[in-house]
Amino acid sequence: MKNLKLKAARAGMDLSQDDLAKMAGVSRQTISAIEKGDYNPTINLCIGICKILGKTLDDLFWPEE
């Protein structure tokens, strides 16, 4: 399932995938794969991304009901 919430939060901060990847210490391909739903990140990576974007785990990674 695509992670459009992550993509929207990243774009809302005017960050490219590459910018976010560098800040999170991963590759741009990893961020792309997370946004496409092709990769399940570790909880530590999820927390790191949330801190960078100023969001909670629920905001970015909890599926809508």
Enumerate the domain spans of the chain. 4-61
Say which CATH topology domain 4-61 has: 434 Repressor (Amino-terminal Domain) (1.10.260)
Alpha helices in the chain (DSSP H): 4-12, 17-24, 28-36, 43-53, 57-61
Q: In Å, how far from its chain's centre is CA 52?
A: 9
Global pTM value: 0.92
CB within 8 A of 18, min separation 6: which ones? 28, 31
Query: Per-residue pLDDT tens for 29-64?
Result: 999 999 999 999 999 999 999 999 999 999 999 987
- Token output for 26: 């991963």
